[in-house]
Chains A and B, each alone.
Chain A
Amino acid sequence: MALIETDHLEKRYEVGDSIVHALDKVSLQIHRGEFVAVMGHSGSGKSTFMNVIGCLDEPTAGTYRLDGIDVSSLSRDALAEIRNQKIGFVFQGFNLLARTTALENVEVPLLYNKDGSKNRRERALEALRTLGLEDRRHHHPNQLSGGQQQRVAIARALVNNAPLILADEPTGNLDTKTSIEIMDLFVRLNEEKKITIVLVTHEPDISTYSKRIIHFLDGKLVSDEANRR
């Protein structure tokens, strides 16, 4: 069974009199353990695709199954629970809570988890350790470099043992050297922990780290091919 399965997924916006098809009948499957890069120009629909499969946005038509669950019919709170349990987000702007330590930032998903209160601190610390940030646990985001901040964000995505990581331009704010470090990290997580990674990027260099590259154009899925590293 596929982890992500979309069938004729559509997302339409009404802008004045015209209708914009941000997603136009997108059907695809992503299996567990895959590393997919989603590419396209801005306005191609790749961000909308990310939002929909990240359960942050609802499709206008079509179905989307995440880990066998039909997500399109779920309530706001049920979607929040799915995001908490199944998805880890990594954003371009890191999106860490300011004035909050690295450790506490990693703990946040556990706050909204039913059994997250149990050894929350240890689990957060373990996630930070995996990313080599144990000694930075009491630092606030503004005391960390961009690469370190992004690694804290990745630790936060890992802490709930979600099977899927959605990364939206994770290297967009980083220099080349740090970008390579972060991409190597994703590759390691994908290979060692078998975590499914869906990565949105517009940089061809970054997409080469993935195993499969899909292209969006005007809301349509135009190419879907395996990538040999």
Chain B
Amino acid sequence: MMNMPSTVKISLRALRVNKMRSALTMLGIIIGVAAVITMLAVGRGASNKISEQIASVGSNLIIVLPGSTTASGIRLGSGATQNLTRSDAEAIKQECSAVATTAPILNGSAQIIYGNSNWPSIVFGTDENMLEVREWTLASGRNFYDQEIRSAAKICLLGQTVVDNLFGNDDPLHKTVRIKKVPFVVIGVLAPKGQSMLGQDQDDIVYVPVSSAQRNLFGRWFPGTVRSIMVKARSTEDLDRAEQQIKELLRQRHRIGPDQEDDFTVRNLTQMMQMAEQASRVMALLLAAIAGVSLLVGGIGIMNIMLVSVTERTREIGIRMAVGAKTWDIRLQFIIEAVILSLIGGLIGVLLGVLFAQLLSFFAGWTILISTYSILLSFGFSGLVGIFFGFYPAYKASLMNPIDALRHE
């Protein structure tokens, strides 16, 4: 077998001789690889963005809302009744094995006042489990204590947007803000979460103990009742089971007969988002597959050109065979030629793909994610394309009869 460096040299020379043809052949691979890289970057960027949003809302979330009721023959929408209680939340947490924790919610909008600035926000009455449910951390300060929830302490946690609008650069900790004219002491600031999938600012929020919300802010609610309950399941796999367990438990607790409608609604927040994530992943895969097809077409282009090249160089093959080239010497020469074509094409394609993805993110504002994995994948694949589509022409060349090849004009 002949040595590699000289084979590579021979192949490079052959490619240099037909510069235009080599460049056009490479173009197929270049477009294919660039397309794969760009498509993967865009697709992965999109699914990554969705996963981030899922994580920002909190994963494995279920929300329990009051159901619809009928008053004097008029159907009222869900959430119209006050039939969920803090003890329901407690019971779900205690008795449903698939549930990790729960937090009650009693919310309403209110004007928050500090000094001479004021800001409208959503006030959530909840308990100390909320941060765990929403997987939220504190930028500063501390969470509520269990004791403070029971004693209806007038304390609050502020979202970053509220802090920015009321305090500017001041430290809000231990300051007093007024919510509906009631003074509340700031004990913590929530870490910024950014926008939700629907574009809502998740940081425009105030958390207060559910008891003080009922007593001091939203007095028309009966003590102990809540607007909704947020439930965190133990894992994604437990979501369906948790939903089932919650339904059973609440039907029992609310004394609903076998043929009566539920007086509450259970919504699975995470599942919807996970479906969206999965859809975007499938989309990304589909895009990559389409890009892969163009890579395949590029490979067929290489095979086509290599077949032409083998025919054109029949005499050269004959000469090489006459002076002692063996079957694999000839095969390797042409395979290496094809591989060099596709690898150079692959390299240019990678660069172009990265550039194009960056342009998309810069000008169109798309989220992109270029992974080393996708670069290695498409570069490696282009090499494989070279070997695969170079083999047949090389095989054909190696089977030539030296006498006929030498006589070829």
Contact = CB atoms under 8 A, between A and B. Distances in A.
A183 B321 CA distance: 26
B403 A51 contact: yes
B403 A57 contact: yes
Given A91-B406, A97-B316, A56 B322 contact: yes
A148 interface: no
22 contacts: A51-B403, A56-B322, A56-B406, A76-B326, A77-B326, A80-B324, A80-B326, A80-B327, A83-B324, A95-B318, A95-B319, A97-B316, A98-B316, A108-B319, A108-B320, A108-B323, A109-B323, A109-B324, A111-B3, A111-B10, A111-B325, A112-B329
B6 interface: yes
Interface of A: 51, 54, 56-57, 76-77, 80-81, 83-85, 89, 91, 95-100, 108-109, 111-113, 117, 156, 160
A80 B321 contact: yes
A223 to B, nearest CB: 26
Interface in B303-362: 315-316, 318-327, 329
A56 B403 contact: yes
Interface string B239-269: 0000000000000000000000000000000
A48 to B, nearest CB: 9
Contacts of B323: 83-84, 89, 108-109, 112, 156
A155 B233 CA distance: 84
Nearest to B399: A76
A36 to B, nearest CB: 20
A112 B325 CA distance: 6
A99 B315 CA distance: 13
Using C-beta atoms within 8 Å of the partner chain, give the interface range for chain B: 20 to 34
Contacts of B406: 56, 91, 95
Contacts of A112: 2, 320, 323-326, 329
Contact of A113 (B10, B13, B318, B324): B324
B364 interface: no
Interface in B1-30: 2-3, 6, 10, 13, 17
A81 B321 CA distance: 10
A117 B13 contact: no
Contacts of B322: 54, 56, 83, 89, 95
B377 to A, nearest CB: 35
A110 to B, nearest CB: 9
B10 to A, nearest CB: 8
Contacts of B324: 80-81, 83-85, 109, 112-113, 160
B325 A80 contact: yes
B123 to A, nearest CB: 82
Contacts of A83: 322-324
B3 A117 contact: yes
A184 B316 CA distance: 28
Contacts of A91: 406
Given A56-B402, A111-B2, A97 B326 contact: no
A104 B163 CA distance: 78
Interface string B105-128: 000000000000000000000000
A23 to B, nearest CB: 14
Contacts of B327: 76-77, 80
A108 B324 CA distance: 9
A226 to B, nearest CB: 30
B316 to A, nearest CB: 6
A99 B13 contact: yes
A16 B193 CA distance: 87
A84 to B, nearest CB: 3
A143 to B, nearest CB: 16
Contacts of A96: 319
A84 B329 CA distance: 13
Contacts of B318: 95
A99 B2 contact: no
B366 to A, nearest CB: 47
A199 to B, nearest CB: 17
Which 5 pairs show the lowest CB-CB distances between chains A and B? A84-B324, A112-B324, A109-B323, A77-B326, A80-B326
A111 B13 contact: no
B13 A100 contact: yes
Contacts of B2: 111-112
Nearest to A51: B403
A99 B319 contact: no
A84 B321 CA distance: 9
Given A95-B322, A113-B324, 18 more contacts: A54-B322, A56-B402, A56-B403, A77-B326, A80-B321, A80-B324, A80-B326, A81-B324, A83-B322, A84-B323, A98-B316, A99-B17, A108-B319, A108-B320, A111-B329, A112-B320, A112-B326, A112-B329
